[in-house]
Structure 1
Amino acid sequence: MEQVQKKKSQFKIIRKENDDEGLIYLLDKLVICSRCHNKVNGHRILIKEEKIPVYRCRKHHKIRAKKEQFELEVIKCANQFFFEILNPTLSLFINECIQDEHNVFNRLTQQSQKKIQFIEERITKAMHRLIESGEIVNLPKQIQKDQKELEDLNRVNEEWEGKKFSAIEKLKLVEVYQKNQEQRIDKIIDEEMEDVLKQLLLCDIVDSIVLTEADAHVNFKHPHYQELGGHERIELG
């Protein structure tokens, strides 16, 4: 929870300059117009002589949703997604997937390191023979070929080492995340929360929301395991 509070203090609240009430639009920067694919941010529009807060595309005015109900529906779907990804069985599956990912890159780096060592030794022996013969003018084609292969192997091995390290860090983050949230599994985002914290949690798991005239398609992501996602359709009244 301390990490959440720290992130919360750094998170910028999105307010509208022309909003007298200083409304916070929880889904700003997440909603996309299905027609022009531009971001759809919240603002007030005049409906029957009353200024109503909505999410509406600046270019396609029929692409819109009333703020309050739209946000409630997205939060409802978000809580369901939170519940699913924090389910102990799925959590175990995610951990196993990340561990398998780490093991694969670990084996690849071990294999490449053996090959690197073999080529380095072959180059060293070939260079010693050249020095002893006193014929070092131009490097033989085999040594040039070995040096090029060595460069390629070192580059690939560095990438695999990075992915192996990334898997370890990902596993740590997922375990910490699950532990921090397990006491609140029934409802991660609740009505009593400050809007800035709701906004932060939504940004953690919502990848995008595609808004049409009739509905909205919410695309979810796991906060630390991008391979796992979800999708929900929300009908607009």
Structure 2
Amino acid sequence: MGKAEHAWRRGFSRRQAIAGLGSFLAASPLLHAQRDPWPLGSHRRFMGFDEIRDVFDFEPLFRANVPLSTYDYSAHGTESEFTLYRNRDAFDWVQLVGGGGVAPAAVDTSTELFGHAMPSPIMLAPTSRQRDLHPDGELGMYRAATTTATTMIVSNASSFPYTRIAEEADGPLWYQRYATRELDPNREALDAGQEAGAQTIVVTIDQQATLYERDLHVRHLGGR
């Protein structure tokens, strides 16, 4: 057997070479620096109210003090929640960079949408079943929104009727509607919203989700 054949038989195979490269990359400190294997949320303690800085700090307290069904309804996404995770990752890459040397008084965040002037492009998205979280539900949310002239979009499945919410305060209020195949229910809901003073009708065209894998896991563990 020649030297070339001997080296070929005793050398690394392609599979061994790839496995060795993978082991090297897995142990590389450069790779570990890309993502924390133990993110902050996995070892976070319960913070006091005077320490909370954002909604993610509040989430562990919320989960520990409400029924599991209430937390899951607030936190879950459709099916395997893949889109929910991807959206969260995408927002993590968004960075707000303050402009140096700019006087805060000169900053103008106002905008206009559908002919309505807004102090900022921030609105309250339609969120259903708010009464599960607080007795005032959408009534309290609308009162809070009006203090900053923030537009609130009332959910199609709100805890209170749109007309009742509209009576609670005086501020910008829009109405969401999930379109159905039958025209009459759509027409009746839209007419009622307009009569109650809805400035804009927000039509959601995607179908409401009917499958939540989180619910399946809970039932398998003896949950609801």
TM-score by length of 2: 0.18
Higher strand share: 1
Which one has more relative contact order, counting CA pairs under 8 Å at least 6 apart?
1
Report the TM-score when normalising by structure 1.
0.18
Structure with greater proportional helix content = 1
